[in-house]
Amino acid sequence: MKYFILFGPPGAGKGTQAAAIAERFNLRHVSTGELLRNEIASGSELGVMAKKLIDAGSLVPDEVVEGMIEALFNAVTGIDGFLLDGFPRTTAQAEVLDDMLAKRGESVTSVISLMIPDELVRERIRHRATIEGRTDDASDETISNRIATYHKKTEPLVAYYKERDKYMVIDGVGTIEEVRERVLSALEPFSKDRPE
């Protein structure tokens, strides 16, 4: 099994690129944002709590997200691997993921980091909020909080995965097609050992 992590600031285009990556390499796309939005839509106790945190621009507790991810690893079959989008977000989560995979005799295959400047992050999140009606993305204060949270908590992952020689940067600026071609080309070497 392959375990890819799609990494980058909010609005970098991770969700946009994930479907093409998953299709090309027979991966299950796992978006923690989508998992949580489904929970919120269900109106569960977890969903209500998650909505309050997300509306404030905060992150949901690690153990909740980790449990959802592990349950998916155990449940999904008929694929060549997983594409994690939105997890891990912190070094602590990366260590939990490493332990989770080690128990399965597996490890992270590679981290694909879509990078864009902060001002483009703001522009894209505002645009997405308008189009998708995502109230969690609407206010400048929430956007600033999300960018600050990303820089503070998530950027240490760069060092974590660089040390393990698992980290690659993809320029996220350009058309969807241009960025997609960069990502798919970068991942192609990992597909060489797939059985035909």
Contacts of residue 133, Cβ cutoff 8 Å, sequence gap at least 6: none
- CA-CA distance, 88 to 99, in Å (whole number)? 13
Q: How many CB atoms lie within 10 A of CB 139?
A: 14
| Beta strand pairing call for 81-85 and 27-31 | parallel
Output the average pLDDT for the chain: 87
Give the pLDDT of residue 196: 43
Digit-coded pLDDT (tens) for 105-157? 999 999 999 999 999 988 888 887 788 776 666 688 888 888 888 888 877 89
Compute the distance between CA of residue 90 and CA of residue 93 in angstroms, rounded to an integer: 5
CB neighbour burial string for 15-38, b if at least 16 within 10 angstroms, e if fewer = bbbbebbbeebebbbbbbbebbbe
- 193: pLDDT confidence band, cut at 50, 70 and 90? low
pLDDT in tens, 158-191: 999 999 999 999 999 999 999 999 999 999 998 8
The SS3 assignment for 174 reads coil
CA geometry: angle at 58 spanning 34 and 71, to 5°?
A: 40
* Per-residue burial over 86-106, b = 16 or more CB atoms within 10 Å of its CB, e = otherwise: bbbbbeebbebbbeebeeeeb
Q: Which residue(s) pair with 113 in the sheet? A: 7, 169
The yes/no answer on whether domain 2-185 falls in CATH 3.40.50.300 is yes
- Of the candidates 49, 70, 69, the one whose C-alpha atom is nearest the C-alpha of residue 61 is 49
Output the pTM of the full model: 0.80
HEC profile of 63-76: HHHHHHHHHHHHHC
Residue 195: per-residue pLDDT: 47
